[in-house]
């Protein structure tokens, strides 16, 4: 997980996305939000978005907004188009959609994290993308680190009680 010295690290806040090359590491922190990563294994290009909600209720603006799943993925797909690469050459991974409220965990209520995860899965299927892996749901939040030079995505879970673990997905 050590970052080479020449690599630039980008931190995504909710509603942001980034697309870059092998000299980039993208990092974010997710609760109920979801991130989609796309990685081109031959050209070492990739991107990540961090969306907050499945879709916008009323489209007041014509500008795409990365806060919404469909629009965030659309922004990444536009970057892929600009790069001149084929969408089918990318590997896709989904992360996040955690339950941030202990009461909902206990009662089994549907929460926004579940809706965000479902939106991500739907979009992957709708666009005919290859889902390489996912780490969705659960309780608490997770830190996600995407190394474009290798395609590895590291996830560190932090449950509401502060107990965590780290996985390479």
Task: Tell me the CB-side half-sphere exposure of residue 159, using CA atoms within 13 A.
Answer: 7
pLDDT of 137 over the 70 cut: yes
Average pLDDT over every residue of 93-102: 89
8-168: what fold? 60s Ribosomal Protein L30; Chain: A; (3.30.1330)
Average pLDDT over every residue of 7-22: 98
Catalytic residue among 12, 24, 33, 144: 33
In the chain, where are the structural domains located?
8-168
pLDDT of residue 163: 42
DSSP secondary structure letter of residue 43: T
pLDDT in tens, 69-90: 999 999 999 999 999 999 999 9
Average pLDDT, the chain: 90
Residues 51 and 122: their CA atoms lie apart, in Å, by: 14
> Where does the pLDDT of residue 167 fall: very low under 50, low under 70, confident under 90, or very high at 90 and above?
low
Q: Is 33 a catalytic residue?
A: yes
pLDDT of residue 166: 52
Helix axes 112-126, 69-83, angle to 10 degrees: 40
Average pLDDT over every residue of 50-68: 87
CA nearest to 131, candidates 27, 38, 35, 32 = 38
């Amino acid at each position: 997980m050590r970052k080479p010295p020449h690599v630039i690290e980008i931190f995504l806040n909710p509603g942001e996305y980034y697309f870059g090359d092998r000299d980039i590491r993208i990092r974010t922190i997710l609760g109920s939000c979801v991130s989609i990563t796309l990685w081109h294994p031959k050209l070492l290009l990739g991107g990540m978005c961090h969306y907050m909600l499945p879709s916008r209720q009323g489209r007041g603006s014509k500008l795409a907004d990365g806060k919404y799943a469909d629009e965030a993925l659309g922004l990444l797909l536009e970057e892929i188009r600009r790069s001149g690469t084929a969408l089918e050459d990318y590997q896709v991974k989904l992360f996040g959609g955690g339950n941030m409220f202990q009461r909902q965990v206990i009662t089994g209520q549907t929460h926004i994290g579940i809706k965000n995860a479902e939106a991500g899965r739907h979009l992957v299927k709708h666009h005919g993308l290859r889902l390489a892996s996912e780490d969705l749901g659960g309780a608490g939040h997770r830190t996600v680190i995407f190394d474009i030079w290798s395609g590895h995505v590291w996830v560190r879970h932090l449950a509401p009680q502060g107990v965590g673990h780290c996985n390479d997905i």
